[in-house]
Structure 1
Amino acid sequence: MPEVICLGIMVVDLVGRPVRVIPEKGKLTLVDTMELHTGGCAVNTGRALSRLGVKTGVIGKVGTDALGDFIIKELEVAGIDTRGIRRAAGVNTSATMVMVSEDGERSFIHYIGANATLKPEDIDWDLVKGARLLHLAGSLVMPGFDGEPAAGVLKRAQEMGCLTSIDTAWDATGRWRKLIDPCLPYTDVFLPSLDEARMLSGYEEPEAIAASFLQRGVKIVGIKMGAAGSYVASAKESILMPPFKVQAVDATGAGDAFVAGFLAGLVRGLDLKETARLANAVGALAVTAVGASSGIRSWEETQGFITANYNNTN
C-alpha cells in the first residue's frame, strides 16, 4: 500500500526550449527541443516521491484520450499506484504548453480539462486509509474540489489517522482566502510558494506569513522561495534554509519537487531542519534537466548531493 497519496491535478506538458521570442500572429519561431512529459502537481510530486523511495499513489482524473493513457502508463512505469485515477467522459486530459526561456524561466498556456471535473466522490478511500499522508496537490485550480469540499476531504483523512498537506497553485480567479481558509484547520503541512503565500496571508515577509498560517491551524509551514531557498516554521522553531546552487536548465516542476522532498523527509522521520534541506536539494536537482521529473535523483544520490554541498546550507 502507498505511504503517501497525492490527490490533485494531472497534466501532460509539451515543453519547448529555448523560446527566445513569442512569434507574431501567423508567424513561426524555432526551438532546439520539444518534448512530451507528465506534469501537474499530483503527478510531479508523486513521481518525485517514488524516485526518492517512498511508496506513492496518485488520485486524480484524466480524459479517455491518448494523453490520459500516456500519464497512466508513465506513472505505472515509475512504480506508482494508479488505482485511484478516474477517467472523465466527454472532456480531454489537462495539458500545458510550457515555453522555457534561455535562462530556464517558464511561461504557460494551460487547458484545465478533466481536472475541473475532480470531486470528492472520485476518491478511493480504501487507498487513503492505508496511507500515512494525504497530499492535496494543486489546490486553488480545481473548481469542482476547492474550498469546502477539499476541507471535508482533509478532515476525513485526519479522522482516519492520516497526516494532511497542501500545495497551492496560482489562483487566477482571485478567490484565494475564500478557497483556502476552510482547509487550514485540517492541514498539518502547508507548502505554498512565496507569491501564493503573500496572496493567501496579506503579509509580505516570510516570518509574518508563516505566523498567520500557524495561527489559522496549520502545524508546519514551508514557503518555497525559489532562488532564495525556503522558510520553514512550526510552533517551536523557524528556519531560513539557503538554496543549493546548480545550473538551471528548466524550472518546470521545481516547486513540486521541493514538496516531494519535504514530504519524504517527514515520512522518513527527519527533523524540520533536515527536512527543509532535503526539500531544497530535491527542488534544486529538478531544475538541472528538462521536464518536471527528469532531474529527480534517488534517495541515495540526493543524500550524496546534500553531503557534497552541505556547507551551502549549514
Structure 2
Amino acid sequence: MARVLCVGILVADLIGRPIENFPEKGKLLLVDEMSLHVGGCAHNTGVDLHKLGEEVQIIGKVGRDGLGEFIINSLRRRGMDTSGILFTDQANTSATMVLLDSSGERTFLHYPGANRTLRSQDISDEMLAASQLVHVAGSFLMPGFDGEETALLLKRAKALGKTTSLDTAWDDTGSWFSLLEPVVPHLDILISNYDEASRISGKEELPDIGAFFLKFGIQVVAIKMGPQGSFIMTPQDKVLVPPFTVRAVDGTGAGDAFAAGFIFGYLRGWDWYQVGRFANACGAMCVQMMGATEGVGSFEEVAEFIRSNGAYLGGEVN
C-alpha cells in the first residue's frame, strides 16, 4: 500500500556541464560532462521519499518511446511501483535539456510532451484510498492537468480523508494565481520557491506571501529559498530555517528533494524547525552530485549530514 502518492511530471533529463556560453550557430562546443538521467518533479520527489524509507507510488504519463522505457526501467531497478505510470500515444515522453554552468546554476529547455495528457481520471479512487498523502509535483508544467483537473483530483482526495500537498514550478504562460485559484481550497500543504510564490501571490515579504495562501484554508506554507534556507508559515507559526553551506555541482532536483524531506518530516509530526532543517538538508545533499536524485541518501545518511553540519534546535530527529 502506497503511503504517499506522487502525481505529476516525468521527464528524461539530458544534463551537460559546464556551459557558460552558447556556440555560434553552426558551430560546436565541447563540454566536460553529459549524461542522461530520469527527472521530473513527481519522479524526483517520489524517488527521494523512497530512498528516505517511505512507501511511494508515482503517477504520471510517458510516451511509447525509448525515453518512456528508460524512465520506467529506472524506477523498476530501484524497486519502485510503476503500475501508476501510463503510456500515451498522443505525445512523446517529456524531456529537458539541462545546461549547467560552473557554479551549478541551471538553464532549461523543456518539452512538456506526455505530461500534457495527464488528467484527474487517470488516478483511480483505489489509488487515492491506498495513500495517506497525495502530492502534486510540477504544477504549471502540465497544461491538461493544471487548474480545474488538479482541483478535481485534490477534492476527491480530501473527500477520502487524505492530506493534500502541491509543489509549484515556473509558469512560463504567466497565468500564475489564475491557474492555481481553483486548487488552493483543496490544499493542506503548499510548497513553492520564493520567486514562484511571490509571482503567484503578488507579494514580496515572506509573511505576506504566507498569509496570502493561508487565507484559503491551507494549513502550512513552505517557501524554498536556496542559499537563504527556507521559510515555513502556519496560522500559528512563522519559522525561518537556516541553510546548509555546501559546494553546488548541480541544482537539478534540489527543490524536489526539499519537498520530499518536508513531506517526510510532516508525516512524522516533527516541529516545524525540524521539518525545515531536514528538508533543507535533503536539498543541500542533492546539489552536491550530478542528477536530480543521486545526492539524497537514506534517512540515516540525511540525519548524519545534519549532525555533521550542526544540531537541530529542540533536539535530534527520531
- With the shorter chain as reference, the TM-score category is over 0.9
The alpha carbon displacement at 1:20 in A equals 2.6
Change in 2 beyond 3 A, CA 1:125/1:79:
farther
The correspondence of residues 229-308 of structure 1 with structure 2, limited to 5 A, is: 229-308=229-308
RMSD: 1.2
Deviation for aligned residue 1:90: 3.7
| Alpha-carbon distance in structure 1 between the residues aligned to 2:224 and 2:187 | 17
1:139 aligns with 139
Aligned residues: 314
Give the match for residue 95 of structure 2: 95
**Identical-pair percentage:** 51
Partner of residue 122, structure 1:
122
Map 1:193-204 → 2, pairs under 5 A: 193-204=193-204
- Separation in 1 of the partners of 2:94 and 2:304? 36
Structure 2 match to 1:29: 29
Supply the distance in 1 between the matched residues of 2:312 and 2:193 (Cα, whole angstroms). 22
Q: Deviating runs (4+, > 4 A) in structure 1?
A: 311-314
Q: CA deviation at 1:236?
A: 1.3
Residues 4-44 of structure 1 show CA distances to partners (whole Å, capped at 9, x for unaligned) of 01000100000001113211110110111111100110001
Cα distance in 2, alignment partners of residues 140 and 21 from structure 1: 28
Q: Residues 86-138 of structure 1, C-alpha deviation per residue, up to 9 Å, x if partnerless?
A: 10114110000000000000001111100001111111331221111000001
Once residues 313 and 301 of structure 2 are traced to their aligned partners in structure 1, the CA distance between those partners, rounded to angstroms, is 17
The one-letter amino acid of 2:12's match is: V
Q: Which residue of 2 aligns with 1:39?
A: 39
Q: Secondary structure at the match of 2:291?
A: coil
Tell me the amino acid that sits aligned with residue 81 of structure 1: D
The normalised TM-score by structure 2 is 0.96
Q: In structure 1, what is the Cα distance between the partners aligned to 2:167 and 2:237?
A: 21
Query: Aligned equivalents of 2:268 and 2:75: distance in 1?
Result: 22
- 1:226 matched to 2:251: no
Q: Tell me which amino acid in the other structure corresponds to 1:131.
A: S
Kindly state the Cα deviation for residue 268 of structure 1 after the two structures are TM-superposed.
2.4
- In 1, are the aligned partners of 2:230 and 2:280 still within 8 Å (CA)? yes
CA shift for structure 1 position 152: 1.3
Q: TM-score under structure 1 normalisation?
A: 0.98
Instruction: Note if 1:84 corresponds to 2:94.
Output: no
The residue that corresponds to 2:5 in the other structure is 5
5+ residue gaps, structure 1: none
Task: Give 1:177's aligned residue.
Answer: 177
Q: 1:73 to 1:262 in 2, by over 3 A?
A: same
Cα 1:101–1:7 change in 2 (3 A) is same
Q: Measure the CA separation in 1 of the matches of 2:313 and 2:98.
A: 31
Deviation readout 1:167-213 (Å, 9 max, x if unpaired): 01111111111111111111000001100000110100111100110
Counterparts of 1:38-77 in structure 2, within 5 Å, are 38-77=38-77
**Which structure 2 residue ranges, 5 or more long, are not aligned?**
none
2:113 aligned partner:
113
Q: CA deviation at 1:310?
A: 2.1
Amino acid at match of 1:202: G
| Alignment check: 8 A CA contact 1:242 1:312 kept | no
